[in-house]
Structures are given as C-alpha cells and as structure tokens.
Amino acid sequence: MKNIAIIPARGGSKRIPRKNIKDFFGKPIIAYSIEAAIKSGVFDEIMVSTDDVEIAEIAKKYGAKVPFFRSLELSNDMAMTAPVLINALEEYKKIGQEFDYGCCIYPCAPFIDSNKLKSGLETMLNKKATSAIPVVKYSYPIQRALTIKDGTLSMILPENMNVRSQDLEPTYHDVGQYYWFEIESFIKNPVLFSKNTVAIITPESEVQDIDTEDDWEIAEMKYKILNRLI
C-alpha cells in the first residue's frame, strides 16, 4: 500500500495575505501540516501543490516535496480542491509514480496532528470506505435556522418552531482539515464526499476555519488553550 499526502497551497490568498505561510507561533502555518504528515509515518510521498516560489521553498525547508508548480488555471480564486488533487496525481503518474491512497491536507490546519492522520486512514480501511472526512457537530440545531427577508425574521423550517432542540437530529459539517481517499475510486468519481464516506467526529475545541483575521485570532486562542500556553 502506497500513500501520498497532497497539501494544496496557492499563493493568492486575499482575505489574509500570504495566509499559507503566515507565522503561527513561531513558524509558517503550513509547517504544521507538513510536520504532522511526516510524523505520522504513513506516507510514501508528502508534496505541496503550489504556484508560488516562496511557498515552495518553505515547504521544502520543512520536509515536503514540490516536484512541479501548479498552473495558473488551478491557482485562481475559483479553483476547487478536486481538480488540484487530480492534477497532482496525473503529474506523478507521468513520472511512473502511482499510489493507492491519498490524503488532502490543508495548509492552514494547525490542529492536525500525526495521530489524527493515522486514525483517519485506519478508520477508512477498517470501515472499507472510499474516503474519510473529519466533521464537527453544529453547536445549534440547523433545523431551527432563521432567515431575514426585507428586514423580517422567519424560520426556514417553520414546522420546527415548537420542537425542542434536544429532539432534533444532530447535524455535522466538514472540518476542513484533511480528507483521506482511495485514489482509484476518486479518479473515477472526483468528489471527496460520496455514499461510501466515513465520518470522523472531531471536538469543536480542535476545529477552526481560518478565512478572516478574526478567525486567525480565534485559532491562536484555541491553540494556546490546547497546548497550555496560557
């Protein structure tokens, strides 16, 4: 069994400029993803897919490979993850390297650690799934979500107006840290979520989407608490 870690890290982040290599407690944030992959010991290849020379140099400094640069077409604001992964796998195939399982690890995910990556692979294999995705429970039932139209508040699902929160089915959302996938299945159907995807439930304290400066500050606070830095 051969496994590859693919870390997609383009250089054009706008809401947080140079986000993928911004300093996070003493090192570029992408370093956490690279180091977790290395420490896990489950990968035959750990690579960063980027269009950016500076990101490439930092990635190599921390132990990842950058065997090629991503095209501009796959590096714009509209580029989705799946085509980037397919591109990386195709480039490796051109040089005679093929893999059985892949793991997409996002570059701004400082709460990833080697144990999570190993556990994700084991869960996928044990469940005979084609992919494994970490998820976190919504903190409030989405069945009681509200919307505002013309300044007026209303329920999206008014039938749940008088249903107790504890009687509603728990719902989850993607954590956005990593995705394990069987490569043969992924190439045939390039989506990271399918009918045969297993969920890895993750504590909310270990989850933080980082898209804005406020998100970054919250991530720093969570990291301090988890690592007893305060």
- Between 30-40 and 114-126, two packed helices, what is the crossing angle to 10 degrees? 60
| Per-residue confidence (pLDDT) for residue 14, from 0 to 100 | 79
Residue 78 clears pLDDT 90, i.e. is over it? no
Sketch out the chain's domains with CATH numbers: 3-135+173-226 (3.90.550.10)
3-class DSSP assignment, residue 85: helix
Given the DSSP bridges, would you call strands 178-182 and 131-137 parallel, antiparallel or unpaired?
antiparallel
CB 123 within 8 A of CB 132: yes
Q: pLDDT category, 73, cuts 50, 70, 90?
A: confident
- Res 72: pLDDT: 81
Give the C-alpha separation, 109 to 129, whole Å.
24
pLDDT above 90 for 22: yes
pLDDT at 79: 82
Write out the two tokens for 224.
Answer: 């301090």
Quote the DSSP letter at residue 199: E
Q: What's the pLDDT score for residue 155?
A: 95
Average pLDDT over residues 114-122: 98
pLDDT above 90 as % of the chain: 90
Rounded to two decimals, what is the model's pTM? 0.94
Percentage of the chain lying above the pLDDT 70 cut:
100
Span 2-17, pLDDT tens digits: 999 999 999 888 789 9
Residue whose C-alpha is closest to residue 177's, from 133, 219, 211, 127 = 133
Cα–chain center distance at 187: 19
pLDDT at 12: 81
Give the pLDDT of residue 77.
Answer: 79
Statement: residue 230 has pLDDT above 80: no
